[in-house]
């Protein structure tokens, strides 16, 4: 399908993944409208030089009337719902704000889309929605059983999205991605940006956990491909109510990941293991067979290739600070 002139609405557009997705859609000549929470001077979209190329709506995703007005005024055809509070630590400290953003924000967006009959909606869930499972890797037919605030917020948003699809016949599909990394993520508490910044500055990298947590890491451009390919495949209406896993099928422990980053970048140092990461699932990784079979999607970047591209972005960014 061609994205030229397609009227697209993106929540969370100024976030890490959202800014990459917005940039790609602008490049594909879509007519993009973005929901921005704040008029920030350090907007990622402004830094990318694309803020002036999109329609900007300022406000909260929990504001139902604002969302309805925006979807209606810009005649929205496709929604990418990415807005969320994404940090586990913040969710643990402040669960109510996370629930407001991730759960209420989702039903407000979907209720507005229902009233206005938006044809296609992609909702961002997460591998965290599966919670702690005895069997791995996660497949899409697993029950969602988050137990901690962030995980529960994603389980709820995921189920709400599929509820709207099933009950109201809406064309909604859900993405469940592994840990997304790449240039542009400046949440330094996360393992990729934190480790690379430490190595660039000649400091020892720090692991907040005990280093044994196992995760699946997906390069951001591969995640953007996943969202675009899913939205394109939804044109037929046959994927309504379905969820799709997107990962690399290459789980790795946090400690081994930091060692890999150091090896790829040719950096040396002592890894500091703090052992202080409560309410974290020990092991989580995805089976992406369905995405490959149904959508023809698979990641284009190995972990090593993604790490090299990510490092190049941070080296330039930190040099200009």
N-term to C-term CA, the chain = 40
Alpha helices in 117-271 (DSSP H): 149-168, 191-200, 220-233, 254-265
The tally of CA atoms less than 13 A away on the side-chain side of residue 185 is 23
Cite the beta strand spans of 99-169 per DSSP E.
Answer: 120-124
pLDDT tier at 321 (50, 70, 90 boundaries)? low
Q: Which two tokens stand for residue 142?
A: 């697993």
DSSP per position, 76-97: -SEEEE------HHHHHH-HHH
Given this model, what pLDDT does residue 280 score?
Answer: 82
DSSP per position, 263-274: HHHT---PPEE-
Higher pLDDT, 28 or 37: 28
**pLDDT per residue as tens digits for the range 78-101:** 999 999 998 888 899 989 999 999
Given this model, what pLDDT does residue 96 score?
Answer: 96
Given this model, what pLDDT does residue 42 score?
Answer: 59
Mean pLDDT across the chain, nearest whole number? Answer: 95
Which of 252, 175, 270, 150 minimizes the C-alpha distance to 211?
A: 252
Phi, psi of 168 (to 5 degrees): -110, 5
Would you list the domain boundaries of the chain?
7-180+218-249+283-299
Which of 207, 208, 144, 217 minimizes the C-alpha distance to 179?
A: 217
The tally of CA atoms less than 13 A away on the side-chain side of residue 48 is 23
Examine the pLDDT at 279 and tell me if it is beyond 80. no
**pLDDT per residue as tens digits for the range 175-190:** 999 999 999 999 999 9
Examine the pLDDT at 41 and tell me if it is beyond 80. no
Q: Specify the DSSP element, H or E, that contains 20.
A: helix 16-27
Rounded CA-CA distance 86/98 in Å is: 8
Which of 88, 97, 29, 94 minimizes the C-alpha distance to 61?
A: 97
Rounded CA-CA distance 10/21 in Å is: 9
The partner residues of 177 in beta bridges, in order of sequence, read: 246
Q: Which of 130, 138, 150, 181 is catalytic?
A: 150
Instruction: Kindly report the number of other CB atoms within 10 A of residue 188's CB atom.
Output: 12
pLDDT tier at 296 (50, 70, 90 boundaries)? very high
Question: Is the N-terminal amide bond of 137 cis, ω within 30° of 0?
Answer: yes
Contacts 24+ apart (CB under 8 A), 43-51: 43/14, 44/14, 44/15, 44/16, 44/19, 44/184, 45/13, 45/14, 45/19, 48/19, 48/22, 48/23, 50/22, 50/23, 50/26
**150 catalytic per annotation:** yes
Given this model, what pLDDT does residue 45 score?
Answer: 83
Given this model, what pLDDT does residue 60 score?
Answer: 95
| Strands 217-219, 55-58: pairing kind | unpaired
Given this model, what pLDDT does residue 162 score?
Answer: 98
CB-based contact 161:123 (threshold 8 Å): yes
The contacts of residue 273 (CB under 8 Å, 6+ apart) are 207, 209, 210, 211, 255
Average pLDDT for 23-38: 95
Q: Which fold has domain 7-180+218-249+283-299?
A: Rossmann fold (3.40.50)
pLDDT tier at 49 (50, 70, 90 boundaries)? confident
Range with top average pLDDT, 45-49, 183-187, 194-198: 194-198
Q: Which two tokens stand for residue 230?
A: 């899913």
**pLDDT per residue as tens digits for the range 232-256:** 999 999 999 999 999 999 999 999 9
Which of 210, 224, 160 minimizes the C-alpha distance to 23?
A: 224
């Amino acid at each position: 399908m061609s994205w030229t002139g397609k009227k697209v609405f993106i929540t969370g557009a100024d976030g890490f993944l959202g800014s990459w997705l917005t940039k790609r859609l602008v490049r594909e000549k879509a007519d993009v409208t973005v929901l921005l929470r704040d008029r920030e001077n350090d907007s990622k979209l402004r830094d990318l030089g694309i803020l002036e190329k999109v329609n900007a709506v300022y406000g909260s995703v929990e504001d139902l009337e604002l969302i309805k007005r925006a979807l209606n005024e810009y005649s929205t055809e496709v929604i990418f719902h990415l807005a969320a509070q994404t940090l586990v630590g913040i969710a643990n400290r402040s669960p109510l704000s996370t629930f407001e953003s991730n759960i209420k924000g989702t039903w407000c967006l979907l209720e507005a889309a229902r009233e206005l009959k938006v044809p296609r909606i992609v909702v961002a869930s997460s591998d965290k929605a599966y919670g702690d499972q005895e069997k791995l890797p996660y497949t899409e037919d697993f029950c969602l059983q988050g137990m901690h605030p962030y995980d529960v917020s994603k389980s709820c948003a995921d189920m709400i999205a599929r509820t709207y699809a099933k009950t109201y016949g809406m064309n909604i599909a859900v993405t469940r991605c592994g840990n997304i990394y790449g240039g542009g993520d400046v949440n330094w508490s996360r393992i990729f940006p934190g480790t690379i910044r430490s190595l660039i500055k000649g400091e020892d990298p720090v692991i907040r956990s005990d280093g044994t947590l196992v995760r699946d890491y997906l390069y951001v451009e591969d995640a953007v491909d996943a969202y675009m390919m899913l939205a394109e495949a939804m044109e037929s209406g046959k994927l309504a109510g379905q969820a799709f896993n997107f990962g690399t099928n290459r789980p790795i422990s946090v400690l081994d990941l930091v060692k890999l980053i150091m090896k790829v970048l040719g950096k040396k140092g002592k890894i500091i293991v703090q052992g202080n990461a409560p309410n974290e699932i020990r092991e989580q990784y995805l089976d992406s067979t369905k995405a490959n079979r149904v959508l023809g999607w698979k990641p284009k970047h190995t972990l090593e290739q993604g790490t090299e591209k990510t490092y190049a972005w941070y080296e330039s960014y930190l040099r200009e600070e």
